[in-house]
Structure 1
């Protein structure tokens, strides 16, 4: 939606509006994220961390060994300069270690995960209470549920109920994260169960704090997060196309989504100026439709023309964001101007084709858009 404006005062007002909208939409990537994974030695914490981060066996981030006590006391995983994850038997071990890192960590823990295994153990309640006193949100995980599969079908259900009663909790996540052990034969597939529900609830909590992408950037698989960013932007653009002065809102939405995609893949915080510069490059490739949307955004509601403008705005946004995603996913640079424009031309045609099968109501429906994007990407 970026285009030149003949009147300097109008242009200044437009960009002031864009900047305001952009600041409201873009996530603050300078925040920190601290996660504590607490549980007895050999409770499977390291395996759970790998499964939680969607890691393959070859790209496991947390060391897993066959002998008990690979993580004997404390392991600090610095995923980057802002994201820290501590794997420990308990917060007392974090306090005992008493380094600058752990002291800062204890000041603010966003997420606490208590990992338990086997039969219900009342002694674990003190670890849960300690986490609750220090964390914004706590999740309890019953790990190694594959061990219960050898018993009666009701055995797992029974032990889940017992853990809930002992810990005095309403929800527990039964999971399996088998196969990360270095001695597991390469031909043995990973057995990951239940982790997706835990991950989803953690991400929803972090999303409410504006920190979901801080963790998503470290996931072994990023496609689903890119789809979420693009789909959310498309829904916003669909609504914004009907608002007077929509050009500023749509431009800010596109720029914020570009910044989010850039951070997801590279960990670099793209400036608003860099994002706007990219939008200008795209606008030069779609000058006619961009000009139409620009002037349309300053007209009063006009029914059919509004619907047409919404479809065009969504189509252009889809082409822009899938182009950015494609380049970043391939490890290329957004500064490669010819590559950018070439992919945009291709994606623009594909976007127009993809949207033909969707009704206007579908453009406001997250599952419909995610389904379309899954095929598109």
Structure 2
């Protein structure tokens, strides 16, 4: 992140270089995401959707956002104009609805989730095969495992094994998503089991397709995703500090992380120009360190200086992104420059304190970074 470049042409060339790197790093938020949740009526599909999206009972998306289809069996959940979930007994029911929405949906399904319950049922194999033929990735879920709580633990293991044999699959996710029903007594706690592992695997798949943030922005709790965005950026700049011309790489990484945080909280796509303007504003508050990073980036590797640059780069990046996250989390706009300026000095001091004494291996370790960020946020 640099703004103190003496010659205007040099500055222009620098930001053009940053923009080139930025385009390679930022996610393509114009993509769409389609998820099909298939299973018998009363198999708990809607509850599972709410649990996957980290929703509370009061903010249950499957109740509030549902659109009834032509048949009462089909529910179309539009999370936004790019993300759609369909809750249906099977893809045949989606086909029979035959609307523009479902026809478009069937052309490209990213994730299929087959929800089964109770004892193994061979008839579910055809629904699984249908999903496998139309989805990029399919996850099979054994829902309502609370039904087995009063049985021997071996009973559930036996049922899981039977389902694997019937469906001819290697992995099944045993889960519980109890408590979203409107008829539950007030104060009944949600019983969410096994959903974390399912969600993690779905997110890892979507991450490999560059679509993880499309779903993440609809999560009821966003902190863990903000932490992941910031941690990934910090590890990247720690490595980039050792690369010739590092200042441009670091600025591009910072800008891409700002855009990702903005999308996570607002669903709006921040332009590269807006992101770069934010970096310039922060640079004016950290002139000494940004000048050092800029000139150091044109020097050959020297060990001690590179390590100092890595610490500074990580510290400044953490302060910037923690400030941006704080503003977005509060519901304020990133255009409120005075608010950003008021928060940045505090976040910078906190970042410097949090990173004090860390070794290079710590700076390059994603888990270490996540721990530090969680404390700072």
TM-score by length of 1: 0.97
User: Residues 240 and 246 of structure 2 are in contact (CA less than 8 Å); yes or no, is this contact kept in structure 1?
Assistant: yes
| Matching residue of 2:237 | 237
Structure 1 window deviating more from structure 2 (138-147 vs 361-370): it is: 361-370
1:190 corresponds to 2:190: yes
SS in structure 2 at match of 1:105: helix
Q: Supply the distance in 1 between the matched residues of 2:309 and 2:133 (Cα, whole angstroms).
A: 52
SS in structure 2 at match of 1:136: strand
| Matching residue of 1:20 | 20
| Matching residue of 2:46 | 46
| Matching residue of 2:162 | 162
User: Residues 41 and 72 of structure 1 are in contact (CA less than 8 Å); yes or no, is this contact kept in structure 2?
Assistant: no
How many equivalent pairs are there? 371
Per the TM alignment, residue 357 of structure 1 is displaced from its structure 2 partner at its CA by 4.5
1:2 corresponds to 2:2: yes
SS in structure 2 at match of 1:177: strand
SS in structure 1 at match of 2:120: coil
SS in structure 1 at match of 2:360: coil
Q: Supply the distance in 2 between the matched residues of 1:364 and 1:146 (Cα, whole angstroms).
A: 41
Per the TM alignment, residue 133 of structure 1 is displaced from its structure 2 partner at its CA by 0.6
RMSD, matched Cα: 1.1
| Matching residue of 1:331 | 331
1:83 corresponds to 2:83: yes
Per the TM alignment, residue 188 of structure 1 is displaced from its structure 2 partner at its CA by 1.2
SS in structure 2 at match of 1:137: strand
Q: Supply the distance in 1 between the matched residues of 2:157 and 2:178 (Cα, whole angstroms).
A: 20
Which consecutive unaligned segments of at least 5 residues does structure 1 have? 65-70
Q: Supply the distance in 2 between the matched residues of 1:50 and 1:17 (Cα, whole angstroms).
A: 43
SS in structure 2 at match of 1:375: helix
| Matching residue of 1:180 | 180
User: Residues 35 and 111 of structure 2 are in contact (CA less than 8 Å); yes or no, is this contact kept in structure 1?
Assistant: yes
User: Residues 230 and 257 of structure 2 are in contact (CA less than 8 Å); yes or no, is this contact kept in structure 1?
Assistant: yes
User: Residues 217 and 264 of structure 1 are in contact (CA less than 8 Å); yes or no, is this contact kept in structure 2?
Assistant: yes
| Matching residue of 1:375 | 375
SS in structure 2 at match of 1:184: coil
| Matching residue of 1:119 | 119
Per the TM alignment, residue 359 of structure 1 is displaced from its structure 2 partner at its CA by 1.9
Structure 1 window deviating more from structure 2 (164-173 vs 11-20): it is: 11-20
Per the TM alignment, residue 308 of structure 1 is displaced from its structure 2 partner at its CA by 0.6
SS in structure 2 at match of 1:114: strand
User: Residues 2 and 276 of structure 1 are in contact (CA less than 8 Å); yes or no, is this contact kept in structure 2?
Assistant: no
User: Residues 4 and 287 of structure 2 are in contact (CA less than 8 Å); yes or no, is this contact kept in structure 1?
Assistant: no
Q: Supply the distance in 2 between the matched residues of 1:287 and 1:238 (Cα, whole angstroms).
A: 20
TM-score by length of 2: 0.97
1:218-297 counterparts in 2 under 5 A? Answer: 218-297=218-297
